[in-house]
Amino acid sequence: MATSQEVTGAPEDDLDIGSDGQDTVEHVYHELRTMILEGSLEPGAIVSQVSLAGRLGVSRTPLREALRLLQHEGLVESEQRRRPRITPIDPEGIDALYAERISTEALGITLTVPLFQKSDLDALAATLKDMSAFAANHQLDQWQASHLRFHQLLVIHAGNHLRAKITGSAERSQRYIRLCPQLQNAWSASQPEHAAIADACAQGDTAVAAHLLARHLARSALSILATHAPEYEPRAVRAALRLIGISVK
């Protein structure tokens, strides 16, 4: 993996590049965030603001603001008097992210299952079917979009604030899934896990749904860590599992 890749271009003291009418912080933020999560801006890449502004067709003013927002989100690092860089792969960060997902999504599904309507369960089943079709056709982008939708549906009645937190964490996970060959090659293998979670929701079994979801997330975390840091001990993930009553070695 290239950790010293630089997004290069003209010197940093070039004048701002003109806008194409989409010169807004929100637009630039979403564009950059997508590039990071999808891996087109690799972990550890040093960012040339002039080059990146030219690539996006915007000026450096909204670019700097977008980079600051991404820094708060943990996707960009910026030290004083140094160029920003895309946050490298950090096993402790992966551990913490998935521990957070286990805790918040277990809570979210616990709040949601008793409130599921038939339309919610129908949407869950339809999304599961889409995931299966995309996996069979090796359509990664479409599968990931449906996969995110599936996890959002599992917590649809958890309240706006908790749902927003869960979605943000799930979106950040996409970056690691794309960088983990084991997970990319295990789409079909993960389908029974998703189906079992959906079945528990349909049966109204809150405890089983929460435990299956937590174990599913933990397995994803362990696969990612096995790729990037096989010697790392996932203390946070194991602690999160114990907190919701799942025994771990």
Strand order in the sheet with 85-86: 6-7, 46-47, 85-86, 76-77
Angle at 248 between CA 152 and CA 97, to 5 degrees: 40
Q: What is the pLDDT of residue 148?
A: 92
Q: Which residues of 43-69 are buried (b: 16+ CB within 10 A; e: fewer)?
A: bbbbbbbbbbbeebebbbebbeebbeb
Strand partners of residue 44 = none
pLDDT band at residue 184 using 50, 70 and 90 as cut-offs: low
Tokens of 173: 């996970």
Place of tokens 């090659």: 185
Which class for 214: exposed (0-12), middle (13-18), buried (19 or more C-beta within 10 A)?
A: buried
- Which tens digit of pLDDT belongs to each residue from 91-148? 999 999 999 999 999 999 999 999 999 999 999 999 999 999 998 888 888 988 999 9
3-state secondary structure at position 46: strand
Place of tokens 């637009």: 27
Q: What is the pLDDT of residue 228?
A: 86
Tokens of 240: 């999160």
Q: Which domains does the chain have, with CATH numbers?
A: 6-86 (1.10.10.10), 91-243 (1.20.120.530)
- Which tens digit of pLDDT belongs to each residue from 18-56? 444 444 888 899 899 888 877 788 888 898 888 888 888
- Which tens digit of pLDDT belongs to each residue from 144-176? 899 999 999 999 999 999 999 999 999 888 888
Q: What is the pLDDT of residue 181?
A: 63
Q: What is the pLDDT of residue 9?
A: 40
